Amino acid sequence: MAKKIAEPTLPPKERAFLVGVELRNEPSLLSLDDSLTELALLAKTAGLEVVGMTSQKLDAPNPNTFIGPGKVEEIKALVEETLAQVVIFDNELSPRHLRELEERFGENVRILDRTALILDIFAQHASTREGILQVELAQYEYRLPRLTRAWTHLARQTGGGGGRTGAMGGVGLRGPGETQLEVDRREIRKRIASLKSELEKVRAHRSRYRSQRQRSQIPTVALVGYTNAGKSTLLNRLARADVLVADQLFATLDPTTRRVELPGGNWALFTDTVGFIQKLPTQLVAAFRATLEEIAEADLLLHVVDITHPNALQQAQAVHQTLMEIDAGHIPTITVLNKVDQFPDPQAATQTLTGFPGPIVAISALTGQGIPELLSTVSRELFEVYVPVRVKLPYQQGNLISIFHDQGKVTRVEHVRGGVWIEGNLPVRLLARFQPFIKNDSSDTSEEVGETIET
């Protein structure tokens, strides 16, 4: 009789206790309870088991432990009761807060904040070389000012006056009594510089690739939205792509671009990008600059909103704030209300986000409902809608001057020292390329003027 092979058992998940703090002088888009619920989803995505949570409202953070000393003792008791191994704060902790809390809770309990948790999720999901480099840079920049007992060898003293072999294998002299902590900081700074250099090469490569796309005159459409809003499902629907779709936060990190045919025979490149979230760590925004430029350089944005989410409006506002932070707030946008197949009244869904820029289209990326209308709206925005502009283009921007004449409708040209003023109408899809040169007043027309051409 054949023996049944036992299935491998999975290691138990780490048990996490969550702490939310509402600071009255720092308004948040989400309520305290909703923000903690989101933190629980982040913890689940990171592979943790949430065993409890608590919250506190404060006028300002405690200078030592962020939360009040009484709350610290209360959480310590709850951690012991629930056998939690990790305590996660929904706010970003300063190096001092982290150090003090680690001392209070002892070496058997790890202390994390929201930023560290998101960085851990990104590290798990990064798959391409670019994504791995970006996450590693963000982690090092986060850790540098927070080197504490998480680095177990830091208490050792090195040096003492004699020559020692340096951490990188070379021979050198350290100052008397230099700590391993100082050595680690120096090595981390070297690694950060190396990662930034590598990512600049990635950025340059992406820039060359975008220039090639622009020369091909195929417009680009970036899918943006709160994490888990359904962007990857939408790209799969539009382009019959195979982008990973998962019911978890930050399932997609690396941008994926696919060509999509629009009504009328035109084509556009659609790019799926990393999802946004409230309190997005600044380290991630900086580290993912090369990727986020795919958004900032797009001709049109599709802002995908999960209309079934109870905080859909707040999530949309968080996305809008992030777009402003990465200098993409000026790009024409279509608001896409996704998952209307789960909404009792799809027509009423469009009233939820009134006030946001651009047209609003209700769709279901899962069933295909509303996709023809969405593609028609994209085609109209890219190829039929013109906007009046007035730009001053340096003569070095000969490519943009040619594009304005070839694809725009020029009404006036005025040559001045160092460049040319052009007035007319441009297709919406070209607006982002000309944005740095757009002028809204006539204050600069006092320059030395040459030939003026009226058309």
Other beta carbons less than 10 A from residue 145's beta carbon: 11
Buried b or exposed e, range 179-215, using 16+ CB within 10 angstroms: ebbbbbbeebeeeeeebbebbeebbeebeeeeeebbe
Fold classified for 218-384: Rossmann fold (3.40.50)
Residue 253 annotated as binding site: yes
Question: 272: annotated binding-site residue?
Answer: yes
Residue 236 annotated as binding? no
230 is in an annotated binding site: yes
Task: Flag whether 231 is marked binding.
Answer: yes
364 marked ligand binding residue: yes
Residue 366 marked in a binding site: yes
Known binder of ligand: residue 379?
no
DSSP 129: H
274 marked as binding residue: yes
Task: Report, as an integer, the average pLDDT of 202-227.
Answer: 76
Q: What angle in degrees, to the nearest 10, is found between the helix axes of 180-215 and 289-296?
A: 30
User: Which pLDDT value is given to residue 386?
Assistant: 86
In this prediction, residue 354 has a pLDDT band, given cuts at 50, 70 and 90, of low
CB-neighbour burial class of residue 275 (10 A; exposed 0-12, middle 13-18, buried 19+): buried
Concatenated DSSP letters of 185-253? HHHHHHHHHHHHHHHHHHHHHHHHHHHHHHHTT--EEEEEEBTTSSHHHHHHHHH-------SSTT---
Model confidence pLDDT, tens digit, residues 391-428: 999 988 888 888 888 888 899 999 988 889 999 998 88
What CATH code is assigned to 15-123? 3.40.50.11060
Average pLDDT of the chain, as a whole number: 80
Q: State yes or no: pLDDT of 336 exceeds 90.
A: yes
Q: Judge whether 226 is annotated as a binding position.
A: yes
Q: Which of 97-106, 175-184, 294-303 has the highest mean pLDDT?
A: 97-106
pLDDT in tens, 36-85: 999 999 999 889 999 999 999 999 999 999 999 999 999 999 999 999 99
17 is in an annotated binding site: no
Can you tell me the mean pLDDT for 100-120?
Answer: 91
Is 424 assigned to a binding site? Answer: no
CA 194, CA 51: separation in Å to the nearest integer?
40
Separation CA 242–CA 221 (nearest Å): 18
Lowest-confidence region among 225-234, 373-382, 439-448: 439-448
Domain residue ranges of the chain, discontinuous segments joined by +: 15-123, 218-384, 386-437
Pull the structure tokens for residue 340: 């209307």
Q: Which residues contact 387 (CB under 8 A, 6 or more apart)?
A: 425, 426, 428, 431
Consult the annotation and say whether 339 binds a ligand.
Answer: yes
The response to whether 228 counts as a known ligand-binding position is yes
CB burial of residue 9 (10 Å; 0-12, 13-18, 19+): exposed
Per the annotation, does 439 bind a ligand? no
pLDDT higher at 435 or 36: 36
| 161: pLDDT strictly greater than 60 | no
Binding residue per annotation — 232? Answer: yes
Q: Is 273 annotated as a binding-site member?
A: yes
